Structure 1
Amino acid sequence: MSFTPITHTCQYNEEDGSMRMYLRGRPIVLYSPSDAIDNLDPAKVAPPPQNKLKLEWVYGYRGKDCRSNLYLLPTGEIVYFVAGVVVLFNVEEQCQRHYTGHTDDVKCLAVHPNKMIVASGQCAGHGDARPHIRVWNSVSLSTLAVLQTHGGAVCLSFSADGARLAAVDDSAERALAVWDWQRERGVCVAETKCSVDTVVSVEFHPLDRNQIVTCGKNHIAFWTLDQSNVLYKRMGVFETRDKPKYVTCLAFNHNGDVLSGDSSGNVIVWGRGTNTILKLVKGVHDGPLFCLLTLKEGQVVTGGGKDGRVVMFDEDLSAPISETTIEGHYGGIRAIAEGRGSQLYIGTTKNCILQGDMQLGFSPAVLGHVDELWGLATHPSLPQFVTAGWDRLLQLWDSMAHSTVWSKDIEERAQCCAWSNSGSVIVVGALTGRWLVFDPHSRELLADHQDGSEPIQTIQFSPDDKYVALGSRDNFIYIYQVDDECRKYSRLGKCLGHSSYITHLDWSEDGQYIRSNSGDYELLYWNATTCRQVPSPSSMRDTSWFTHTCPITFRTLGVWPEHADGTDINSCVRSHDSRLVATGDDFGKVKLFGYPATQPKSLCHQYGGHSSHVTCVRFLPDDSRVVSTGGLDTSVMQWIVE
């Protein structure tokens, strides 16, 4: 058998119409369907599809480990970030816009005094992208400046006149830098080592233009930037009072005094222009106080990171005016923004944004996942999808209303999920080998099974819903017979033959066969009813497949870049009309190819936004949209197919 080299990693055999593809040096022989052999020119470069993707909606918010990242703009939009996207969301009109200039995790945000310009900082990006800060116009979304930093910026603040930008990075030096961002390419006018300990906040004084305050672990520091652009530091003096483990947040009252909150739940007032305590309000919160906000009318609002309480004080912090507590399942309070009238927006430690007021309470405007996210399945006929993550949450989303229909704690860390083809049940595979069947309307648990003790990696129903196949991390595929409208499951057997964990599987259109990919890049075929491996892969070359989620097949040769590691592509899916294929990879990219992608050299359109490995991509049933999940970035993104 002679193979003709086509690329560095593909060789073609004309005799039997097969392609040998190498992944990490391992050869994989893939057989062309009979009707494609005569027309196959493997040296030809396949063009990208005519269709493109446009980011329509981003579900989620990053409140778990970031601060001061929620603001209201004059446009009526709240601005915040998740993954590598800064979101501008008009809650009343239910529309989003997105700033997508970043290449990796956005970690901090600041709004210019004119309320039009925004600065956002990211960590080091994929490839050669260095950590940097981007300054941009929130109306036009055009980038005004890109400021290269030593480490990823963790906090930002504009000066009162907006001409300068202070930033603290996460380098070993924890450098405090002051930028004249409006000069060409941005000029760092001052830089100094900020603290040996973690820094969580930086604020330019709103009235004293050369004063900057920073705080964090074991400290609060008051900085003066003199006329020769040298920074001088005075540490806050706690005198006989107990020094808090963390000074967690900063604000300013209308007199120009500095307000600080700390990990002991206290609020301290520091006299304007001094480093000494003017007033101490003890025990405002049980546990850390994560945010402070001075309202336009002068009242001070505090948010508790542990107790979930929002407390409003009068201007002098002499007495609480009102307080409320948010529901515990939303998490603690991470950020508060003043809305219109008496309205407030609250960002939480469980990646939710709530809206409401102190009298009527708060309801969710944004819900999200809070731990690694792998499970995604779209409804077979409705514009809905479900997600399931390591945070034990199963969430049903309406893609047209851009909202959560319901959210359920399933008490298991989920790795994958599937919808039956009738739409009557949702199945969730867990990290423990357990898998659960739910009614999508009542949320009732209908069935509970266990196969092995390793994670269930993938689940697929046969076209007629008579069988379900589950691929496990233990190298086996478990096959069940399905009865009683997907409520009863009886195990037929398990498929043994893979030498590594199962990653993806598909059913044939007639429901007789399964194909599967594994962690060592195998493509194997199985007789579903006997659970036996099909010994001759070439005999399966003309099989029609009901789904196409296996990335290692002849029809998806072209989705693999040269020299790819076989784990680079986490997810692959064909559109229902068989015209497109979308992939999610380890580099935060969603890619769109024409289908079939049988040419080893296939061009595509690629899209950033996710800041972590893209764990799953799926088309909605009408192929109008693609939904993608980002593993560690916990976000869900919805793309219009244009």
Structure 2
Amino acid sequence: MPVPSYIQDINVAKSAPPPVEKLKLEWVYGYRGKDSRNNLFILPTGELIYFIAAVVVLYNVDEQIQRHYTGHNDDIKSLSIHPDKITVATGQVAGHDRREEKPHIRIWNSLSLQTLHVIGLGHFDRAISCIAFSKADGGQHLCAIDEANEHIMSIWQWQRESKLVEVKSSTDTVLACEFHPSERNTIVSCGKGHINFWIWDRTGITKKSGIYEKYDKPRFVNCIAFASNGDVMSGDSNGNIVIWGRGTNKIVHVLPNVHEGTVFTICTSNDGVFLSGGKDRCVIKWDVNYRKLASAKIDEVFGSIRTFGRGPGSQIVIGTTKNNILTGSFETKWTPIVYGHVEELWGLATHPTLHQFITAGFDKNIFLWDALEHSVVWFKSLPESAHSAAFHPNGKIVIVGLCNGRWLALELSSQQIVSSHSDGNEQVECLAFSPDGNSLAIGSRDNMIYVYSVTEDGQKYSRIGRCIGHSSYITHVDWSADGQVLQSNSGDYEILFWNKGNCKQIATTSQLRDIDWATSNCTLGFNVCGIWPDGADGTDVNACCRAPRAHNLLASGDDFGNVNLFKYPCYQPRANCHTFVGHSSHVTNVQFVNDDSKLLSTGGKDTSILQWNVSI
């Protein structure tokens, strides 16, 4: 690493202080509907409550305000609302935090966001797949099922944080559990190949499995709900709704083939009317006598119906398998109010002059977001999975790098592809325009950097050459302020420098010691070496970004779900920083908006986008 000439002495024993600025979570984009159930409710405050990554979101749609519960340190898998409609229980998987790294349940107040109880540290295995508050006794008890091999069901007196009883539930996957609303000692659970009816007291739990008799046993029982007369309703993978007699494990009625494919959710209301939704994207309304009253279908682009939330009057919110939340009624159309990516997310780029940003994911979708309005400007499906993105300095063109070696130039105003190129057949890892917009560098999984000249305001691209010399895949590139030199990092931790004109490596790095770099996206380099914690390997820090206007802050994202904020330059080893949590997966990218006021971060497999305010 060439050391700038103004650095006279480096004391490796000295630790640099953190910046005075800190981050505050402002907005969470996304929703976890792909693989989670029963996780969308409407509180008496009018707020939607749902989760993604390690954050529970309380979203007032009318006022466009979000609040966040951030007590968890890894993926939230389950959620339950107490009968008082204020107390909330959320369960998580095993986390990174040494003190609370085991799966556990947090019980908290949805008004104050204060944690009331932490339950089950050391009692659960892998994750909490289902939780439910009791109803008939006013919510004194909590049932939880974990993801151990035998899916242990336990019942807790949660206010005392004491476990009353536990039992092996099933060797197969358990998808849902609920207390009966009017019988104090009855619990129903369901999952792969089973529905079970449990009677419990302080001495133990007894189980009766549902008997299908003359009916075909489904591969999955996906959801349960309770009719107004106390009967149990279940929806299954055969497309049937099955009615089980109150207090029995026997079928009293079947609504056959009400959905094409799986019934994912059933939602009841106080008047006995209930809704069903499934893989066929249909919403069906039923009366208390199981007669169909109305039906509607949501658009294919939003995915299948995963769960319902009921609001005042006829309002319904729908969580979908493609991580969207829709609102509407049978009389109106279904409108998306929350969008999200569905597959792993790496591509992130911020607009050079506006508070807008692009995300590009493995789900083949790209979104243009407005960071002020917290909304989607547009979204577009691509022919292949996407991994990277970069804005042209004019703000009119965005480049998206795909996982098959292709890259596309899109015009922002029309969303039309104005140029398409291929460089090899491996993933486009990173993209960067020179400050004047006349050059484009493309870092590939094939160990090469492809350099293009750019004309016609970002509409036309001509390859200048290839930078050949790295012995592993390219991870990051930066341009010099004059657009004549490139620096690059690779998967085997090399730092190389290149002459743009001939694409040749610059071997004498001492002449580059005082070069002014336009960006600081390379995670390896003298000015960023302090972002690496002791004992880290070269893959633990995935991204970093310097504040584009003031050049005084440096943000990084790591494999532990952390977003870190340092002073820039950050060349002192063991530099102190402020660390912020919310992601549950590796943080794949971080980018400041053009005026340094906000930071965006993306979570890889948690598919979330977190927007942070930067303030003192």
TM over 0.5: yes
SS at 1:556 equivalent: helix
Out of 308, 320, 323, the position equivalent to 2:292 is 320
Given that residues 73 and 97 in structure 2 are in contact (C-alpha distance below 8 angstroms), is that contact kept between their aligned partners in structure 1? no
Aligned to 2:249: 275
One-letter code aligned to 1:468: L
- Counterparts of 1:596 and 1:50, CA distance in 2: 14
Kindly provide the amino acid, as one letter, of the partner of residue 225 in structure 1.
W
Check the 8 A contact 1:270/1:279 in 2, yes or no. yes
Amino acid at match of 2:554: V
1:640 alignment partner, one of 600, 613, 616:
613
Query: Is structure 2 residue 96 aligned with structure 1 residue 119?
Result: no
1:283 is paired with a residue of what secondary structure? coil
Partner of 2:258: 284
The 8 Å contact of residues 57 and 637 in structure 1, kept in 2 or not, is answered as yes
The 8 Å contact of residues 228 and 271 in structure 2, kept in 1 or not, is answered as: no
Identical columns (%) = 51
Residue 87 of structure 1 is matched in structure 2 by 57
Matched, 1:619 2:596: no
Q: Give the structure 1 partner of residue 165 of structure 2.
A: 190
In structure 1, distance between residues paired with 2:169 and 2:307: 24
Deviation at 1:361, TM superposition (A): 2.0
Kept in 2, the 8 Å contact 1:174–1:196? The answer is yes
2:139 pairs, out of 154, 159, 162, with 162
What residue number does 1:538 align with? Answer: 510
Deviation at 1:341, TM superposition (A): 1.0
Match of 1:48 in 2: 18
Query: Residue 204 in 1 paired to residue 179 in 2?
Result: yes
Offset of 1:127 from its aligned partner?
4.8
Partner secondary structure for residue 6 of structure 2: helix
1:440-459 equivalences in 2 (<5 Å): 440-459=412-431
Conserved 8 A contact 2:150-2:172: no
Aligned residues: 607
User: 1:35 aligns to what SS in structure 2?
Assistant: coil
Task: Please state if 1:244 is matched with 2:218.
Answer: yes
CA distance in 1, matches of 2:50, 2:97: 25
Cα distance in 1 for partners of 2:315, 2:238 equals 27
Decide which of 311, 319, 339 is 2:284's aligned counterpart.
Answer: 311
Asked whether the 8 Å contact 2:74–2:583 carries over to 1, the reply is yes
Extract unaligned runs of 5+ from structure 2: none
Q: Which amino acid aligns with 1:638?
A: Q
> Is 2:374 the counterpart of 1:364?
no
Contact 1:480/1:490 (<8 A) preserved: yes
Distance in 2 between residues matched to 1:495 and 1:37, nearest whole Å: 33
Q: Does structure 1 residue 501 correspond to structure 2 residue 473? A: yes
Whether the 8 Å CA contact 2:398–2:409 is kept in 1: the answer is yes
Output the CA distance in 1 between the equivalents of 2:372 and 2:459. 29
For residues 152-205 of structure 1, what are the alpha-carbon distances to aligned partners after superposition, in whole Å with 9 as ceiling and x for unaligned? 11111100111110011111120111111100xx11101000012111000001
Query: 2:489, 2:524 within 8 Å by CA — same for their partners in 1?
Result: yes
Match of 2:80 in 1: 110
2:502 paired with 1:527: no
Query: TM-score of the superposition, structure 1-length normalised?
Result: 0.94
Cα distance between partner residues in 2 of 1:562 and 1:315: 63
CA contact (8 A) 1:292 1:301 kept: yes
User: Is 1:221 the equivalent of 2:221?
Assistant: no
So what's the TM-score if we normalise by structure 2? 0.98
Q: Distance in 2 between matches of 1:125 and 1:489?
A: 46
Correspondent of 2:230 among 238, 253, 256? 256
SS at match of 1:36: coil
Structure-2 residue corresponding to 1:177: 154
1:594 aligns with 2:567: yes
Q: Cα distance 1:359–1:229, how it changes in 2: closer, same or farther (>3 A)?
A: farther
1:75 aligns with 2:45: yes
Q: What amino acid is aligned across from residue 211 of structure 2 in structure 1?
A: V
**Distance in 2 between residues matched to 1:369 and 1:301, nearest whole Å:** 26
| SS of alignment partner, residue 36 of structure 2 | coil
Q: Which residue of 1 aligns with 2:110?
A: 138
Equivalent position amino acid for 1:83 in 2: A
Aligned to 1:552: 524
- Report how far residue 36 of structure 1 moved: 2.2
Deviations 1:575-612 (A, max 9, x none): 01111000000110000000011111210000111010
Give the drift of 1:276.
1.0
* Counterpart contact for 2:588–2:604, Cα < 8 Å: yes
**1:393 corresponds to 2:370:** no
- Give the AA of the match of 2:148: S
1:324–1:361 Cα contact (<8 Å) kept: no
Residue type at the aligned position of 1:379: H
The letter of the residue matching 1:63 is G
Q: Deviations over 1:33-68 (max 9, x none)?
A: 111225x44432110100000111000000001100
Runs of 4+ in 1 over 4 A off after TM superposition: none
Deviation, structure 1 residue 406: 0.6
- Look up the SS of the partner of 1:121 in the other structure: strand
Q: Would you say the 8 A contact 1:625–1:639 is kept in 2?
A: yes
What code does the residue aligned with 2:168 have?
Answer: K
Aligned partners of 2:347 and 2:589 also within 8 Å: yes
**1:111 corresponds to which letter in structure 2?**
I
199, 204, 219: which one pairs with 1:230? 204
Structure 1 spans left out of the alignment, 5+ residues: 1-29
Equivalent residue, structure 2, for 1:468:
440
- Opposite residue 114 of structure 1, the aligned amino acid is D
CA distance in 1 between partners of 2:455 and 2:40 (Å): 49
